[in-house]
Amino acid sequence: MVSLFEEAEKILEGHATDRGLGKERSMKKIVEVFNTLTGKNLTEHDGDIFMVCLKLVRMQRSPQIRDNYIDALNYLVMSHEAIELDDDIRKSLDDYREGRFKQGSIDKLLKDLRSGEDE
């Protein structure tokens, strides 16, 4: 039997391939729409954690449904990626403001910012 981790990774890769993306990451756009509709200020990380909570409730109600565990793992991974990206962008901006930047860090920052536009 395939482990939950292997299955979760395969699903994320499959979603990206099906959509013609490098990665399937829609949460940033979902949160933007939610914030516009509600006036709230959730982050991409908040959206992923919200979805983990949804999956935890579903696990409690239907513990035999494997898909809930797989989805929760994927939302945790995406949540961590969102935090890492935020940290990288913050560091690059701090370096830029302090005059400690290298062209590579600016290129990475621009690439990271552009990759979020595709979602």
Round to whole Å and give the CA distance between 89 and 108.
9
What is the per-residue pLDDT for 47?
94
Does 102 have pLDDT greater than 90?
no
**pLDDT level of residue 72 (50, 70, 90 thresholds):** very high
What is the per-residue pLDDT for 100?
64
Q: Which residue has the tokens 């993306």?
A: 21
Does 20 have pLDDT greater than 80?
no
What is the per-residue pLDDT for 106?
61
- The verdict on pTM exceeding 0.85 is no
Domain residue limits at 35? 4-117
DSSP label at residue 18: H
Domain count, the chain: 1
The DSSP code sequence of 34-98 is: HHHHH-----HHHHHHHHHHHHHHHHHH-TT-HHHHHHHHHHHHHHHHHHHHHHHHHHHHHHHHT
